[in-house]
């Protein structure tokens, strides 16, 4: 069992398998984005109160959701690496950090741009905004810590521990709008209660969310494959795999 898992998650197997998946994921991402953008920017009706400015929703919300999702993937991979010392989980965790930081940055910036006409301010030290900013610092901290430590094994361990400790911020972000009733609105969509968004706005949002998910998987594979290629560049399987290009 253990040996089978080791073999399945070997660099070589992941590299080959992800190489087959990549074009499909890339194509699905593109189709979802084009559909979601057209639906959200052209077909979806304008909002009664916010008019067209509400259309920022279709990137703000998926980016914010992904900022949390990617962090959980990163911390989980880090934890798996700490416990079982698997190489692939280390690579996955590292590959999550830059793209996760970008999603967080986008959630913050599109939120600020949206806040200006709707709240009358770019920024306020609201609980949701502040905890999301902390998330950005956690991602940056992960990358800084990882690159500051020379020895790769220690760097991976330290970064994984940072990621796991930072997990406490995730429920804080999620529940911040209920715990501290400040400025950011409460969730319109939740797993238990369903959605208070009108279907004409809900469905394009779901397509954009799926687009972001597939985009993340695509970028994650590309980044992880590069790190694998770099680490195993002198191994026979890499030469065998890439000699024909």
Partner 1 sequence: MSLNEFFYMGGYAFHVWTSYGLTLLLLVLHIVLPIRRRKQLLRRIHKTIKRESAS
First to last CA, the chain: 35
Q: Is 98 in the site for partner 1 (CB under 8 A)?
A: yes
Q: Is 53 in the site for partner 1 (CB under 8 A)?
A: yes
Q: Is 42 in the site for partner 1 (CB under 8 A)?
A: yes
Q: Is 110 in the site for partner 1 (CB under 8 A)?
A: yes
Nearest distance, CB of residue 3 and partner 1, angstroms: 29
C-beta closer to partner 1: residue 74 or 99: 99
Which residues in 80-98 are b (16+ Cβ under 10 Å) and which e? bbbeeebbbbbbbbbbbbe
189 phi and psi, to 5 degrees? -130, 125
Please report where in the chains the tokens 């610092």 appear, as a residue. 137
Q: Is 99 in the site for partner 1 (CB under 8 A)?
A: yes
Q: Is 56 in the site for partner 1 (CB under 8 A)?
A: yes
Which span (73-81, 132-140, 178-186, 231-239) binds partner 1, by CB under 8 A? 231-239
Out of 116, 121, 147, 154, the only residue in the binding site for partner 1 (CB under 8 A) is: 116
Task: Report the distance separating Cα 104 and Cα 145, nearest Å.
Answer: 19
Nearest distance, CB of residue 165 and partner 1, angstroms: 26
The answer to whether the CB of 227 falls within 8 A of the CB of 59 is no
Q: Is 14 in the site for partner 1 (CB under 8 A)?
A: no
Nearest distance, CB of residue 11 and partner 1, angstroms: 14
Helices 57-84 and 169-179: crossing angle in degrees, nearest 10, is 140
Q: Is 214 in the site for partner 1 (CB under 8 A)?
A: no
Nearest distance, CB of residue 59 and partner 1, angstroms: 5
Torsion sign over Cα 152, 153, 158, 161? positive
Task: Looking at the chain, list the stretches that DSSP marks H as alpha helix, in order from N- to C-terminal side.
Answer: 2-8, 11-38, 57-84, 87-119, 127-148, 152-166, 169-179, 199-231, 236-242
Residues that bind partner 1 (CB under 8 A): 41-42, 46, 51-53, 55-56, 59-60, 63, 98-99, 102, 105-106, 109-110, 113-114, 116-117, 215, 218-219, 222-223, 225-226, 229-230, 233-234, 238-239, 242-243, 245
């Amino acid at each position: 069992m253990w040996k089978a898992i080791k073999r399945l998650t070997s660099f070589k197997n992941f590299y080959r398998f992800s190489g087959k998946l990549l074009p499909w994921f890339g194509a699905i991402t593109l189709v979802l984005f084009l559909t979601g953008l057209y639906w959200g920017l052209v077909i979806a009706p304008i909002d009664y109160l916010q008019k067209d400015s509400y259309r920022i929703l279709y990137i703000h919300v998926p980016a914010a959701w992904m900022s949390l999702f990617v962090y959980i993937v990163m911390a989980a991979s880090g934890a798996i690496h700490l416990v079982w010392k698997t190489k692939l989980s280390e690579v996955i965790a590292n590959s999550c950090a830059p793209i996760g930081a970008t999603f967080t940055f986008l959630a913050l910036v599109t939120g600020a741009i949206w806040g200006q006409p709707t709240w009358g301010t770019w920024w306020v030290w609201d609980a949701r905004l502040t905890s999301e900013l902390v998330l950005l610092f956690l991602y940056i901290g992960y990358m800084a810590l990882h690159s500051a430590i020379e020895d790769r094994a220690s760097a991976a361990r330290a970064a994984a521990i940072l990621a796991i400790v930072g997990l406490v911020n995730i429920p804080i972000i999620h529940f911040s709008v209920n715990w501290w009733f400040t400025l950011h609105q409460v969730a319109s969509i939740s797993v238990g209660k369903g959605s208070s968004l009108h279907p004409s706005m809900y469905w394009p949002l779901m397509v954009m969310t799926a687009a972001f998910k597939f985009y993340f998987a695509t970028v994650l594979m590309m980044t992880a494959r590069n790190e694998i290629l770099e680490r195993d560049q002198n191994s026979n399987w890499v030469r065998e795999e890439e000699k024909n290009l």
